[in-house]
Every structure is written in structure tokens, then in C-alpha cells.
Amino acid sequence: MQPLIVFIVALLVFIPSKGFGQIAGTLDYDTAINRYKYYDGAQWVNLGTPILLNFCNASHRGEIEYDTTLNTLKYCNGTIWLTMAGLPTLATCSKQGAWQYSDSLNRLIFCNGLLWILMA
């Protein structure tokens, strides 16, 4: 086998098919599973802890909002609101409801008005 062909075959074996060429922090709503997910630079991570915050209907599916009562970011999956709250970081913030991708943590985070919270 020619060296170039061997190299191309080896390259195809090691290139991950899902997520290849994606940018870390990309957010996507997966309608097949009714969940948000984000790309952390290596894999797609599902967002949304199945904690019943309140009911919602299909007309709100995919909407993201900040719940000022619970200080959490949440989204509607077409039936219920799912919280995106995970563990807090030690980094402080002040803009309640703001969210961004953290390159150092390889995670999406949101601000609860005091600390940046990992999205789960």
C-alpha cells in the first residue's frame, strides 16, 4: 500500500465524526430528545436537570429564560421547565442571568448574581 493511502486511511479512522469542526461552546437544541446540548471541545454535553420547576407547553419548547425566584437558568422541553444549574464556581459575577462559554472550564456557565454556575 502506498504511504499516502495508508496515511489517509489512518486519518479517517482517528477523526471523530460527530463534533468534528465544531466550536467549543456551540449551543444546540436537539428536537429528537427535547434537550439543549453544547459542544465542550471534545463531545456534546446534554443540558437540563430533570427537576420539575413548572409546566410549559409545546409553543414554548426551546425557550431559555432566567428564573429570578430560583436564581437559575432554565429551558422548556415542550412539557416542563428544566434547570441548567450545576455546581457553582469560585468566580464572582454580578449580571444575573448572563451566560457564556468558559474556555478554562470547557463548560457553559451562567451568573446567578453572585457566582458563575456550571450548566448541567
Q: 54-105, pLDDT tens digit by residue?
A: 889 899 999 999 988 888 888 998 998 888 888 999 999 999 999 999 999 8
CA-based radius of gyration for the chain: 18
User: What is the C-alpha to C-alpha distance for residues 77 and 82, in angstroms, rounded to an integer?
Assistant: 7
Instruction: Report DSSP state, residue 20.
Output: T
Contact indicator for 36, 56 with CB cutoff of 8 Å: no
Q: Does the model's pTM come out above 0.85?
A: no
**Vertex 30, ends 27 and 36: CA angle to 5°?**
45
Residue 100, C-alpha cell as written in the block: 457564556
Which pLDDT tens digit goes with each residue over 11-64?
Answer: 333 334 444 557 888 889 888 888 888 898 888 888 877 666 688 989 999 999
